[in-house]
Amino acid sequence: MAGGSTPPAPEHAGAVLAGRGVVVTGASRGIGLAIARALAARGARVAMLARGADALAQRAAELGAAALPIPCDVADPAAVGRAMQVVTLAFAGAPDIVVNNAGIFHPRPVTDITPEEFATAIAVNLNAGFYLAHAVVGAMRARGRGHIVTVGSVADRVAFPGNGSYSPGKFGARALHDVIREELRGTGVRATLVSPGPTDTGIWGDLAGTGRFPPRDAMLAADAVADAVLYAITRPAAVNIDELRLSSA
């Protein structure tokens, strides 16, 4: 973790997060599931958003009563609006924390990416973060507290061959984070960007260990990214962690 910081002690994180309402997107697998699991274990109420209803329901059941599964295609602004209505009713107001994690990664040369594939990647990797922030920032600002966490990537600041549909969305998500951070400075609402390097999740398929990408056992663990998110959201209210960049040792 940047600066050699250590994650919060479990008892401290539990004291900070107990009863807090949190939204996590892409929560049925990988990094999103690891974040949802860590939050639920520390007493937060976690609204888990993902497209696959069956897998989402199963993962939420594993997390217990603290988890609320809400099937949602975050690339669809109307679907996000409906999901946030459910969240607002469940939490009796806007969530305390939103973790914008959902993403898709299909590395191919620009010449092999169709316009439809590019539009879908941008919709998930960039637009969804705007839809979520747009839905909650006003209420958070009025309340004087809240936290928007964006899960970025090393590809949000470094261009790699084959990332013609991924990096544009992640670069944009980093820029959106920067704007949100500046607009919310001094309001009590915080914004954090967590940018991990390659992380061991099912997103890699057969790509890991091919020489182009490291083997999965050399990648970050999804739980390490969850620890970084926990660190950021459990700092004292007067402290904002603007950005954390993570890489394997």
- 210-239: pLDDT as tens digits: 667 777 888 889 999 999 999 999 999 999
Distances, alpha carbon 49 to alpha carbons 18, 33, 37, 146, 186, in Å: 20, 10, 13, 19, 29
Confidence at residue 123, expressed as pLDDT on a 0 to 100 scale: 97
Residue 67: phi and psi, rounded to 5, are -100, 135
Identify whether 231 is a catalytic site residue: no
Residues 94-112, mean pLDDT to the nearest whole number? 94
Strands 220-221 and 243-246: unpaired
| Of the listed ranges 2-6, 116-120, 140-144, the one predicted with least confidence | 2-6
- Residue with more model confidence, 25 or 247: 25
Confidence at residue 192, expressed as pLDDT on a 0 to 100 scale: 98
CA-to-CA distance for 46 and 59, rounded, in angstroms?
12
Question: pTM to 2 decimals?
Answer: 0.89
Beta strand ranges found along the chain (DSSP E): 21-25, 45-50, 67-71, 97-100, 146-151, 189-196, 199-200, 220-221, 243-246
Place 2 in a pLDDT band, splitting at 50, 70 and 90.
Answer: very low
Confidence at residue 74, expressed as pLDDT on a 0 to 100 scale: 97
Catalytic residue among 166, 171, 204, 231: 166
Q: Please name each of the domains of the chain with its CATH number.
A: 2-246 (3.40.50.720)
Place 13 in a pLDDT band, splitting at 50, 70 and 90.
Answer: low
Q: What is the DSSP letter of 67?
A: E
Average pLDDT, the chain: 91
